[in-house]
Structure 1
Amino acid sequence: MTPVKRTLQALGALGVAGAGYLLLSHPGQPLPLLVAHQPYSVWLVGPAAAAVTGVAIKEGICYGKAEAASLALTLPLLCLAHLSGRAPEQLEQLLLLGVCGAGLVFAVRKYTQPIKDDIGDKSVFMYMKQLSQQQQQ
């Protein structure tokens, strides 16, 4: 699981760096407006969206959360629709509304989730580590 986690962290960092670059190269302009008016900028902030999508996929698989599945579908569709420039503006707005709604529900449910449920059962990871150690011997 660690390589996946590190990949998501790296994608998040790349997206934050891209957002920082956009903000520094266009002082005084809000990031959402920059991305809205310059579709190419999705290449710079997109890795952060990929990281969020990865977390949503993990949450959807591990916990069966519908809002996580919705977020995992709508966020990449929104990025691709905006980047391609081929989607009608109304479709992009609908996808953005879906991303915001799913993200809000996801965050609220995550905030109210008991910590013990969020951490989960680590016995699977301990078993896999034990198997790996046995194979190395």
Structure 2
Amino acid sequence: MRLKVIATATLLLFGLSAVAETPNIEPGMWEYHNKMTFQSDVPIPDQEHTNQECVTLEDIERGDAFLEDVEECDITNQEIRSDGMDYSMSCHGPDGTEMTMDASMQFYGDRTTGTIHGEMDTPMGPMQMTIELTGERIGDC
């Protein structure tokens, strides 16, 4: 479950129930680069991931340009603005793993930056992670 949540967080695939303002995100093909660092008693190497995703005007208007539901997680706080979004979430895995995350994203039309801080209680002990992410529009879908 931990890897699923981390990967999902990295790709920013979390559900939103409502959008207060339309995010300043241009529709098109986006490329995202994410770097995860971990702090724990068990050494885990830094991980980097790059992916591409088509973001449509409909995705942006619905508020899920970067987000979709993760059944094991509950959004505990969210604020969406035209220039970014902040959210917090709590996730519970079937193996007893628990994770909380606080994220802050900034939107600049054709690019985005953000940071996600997470804390997990795992069978291997407590763990902290930080994800630094960047995204840019690279063309049409």
Q: Would the TM-score normalized by the shorter structure come out above 0.5? A: no
Higher strand residue share? 2
Larger Rg: 1
Question: Which structure has the highest helix share of the two?
Answer: 1
Shorter-normalised TM-score: what interval? under 0.3
Q: Which has the higher contact order (CA 8 A, sep 6+)?
A: 2
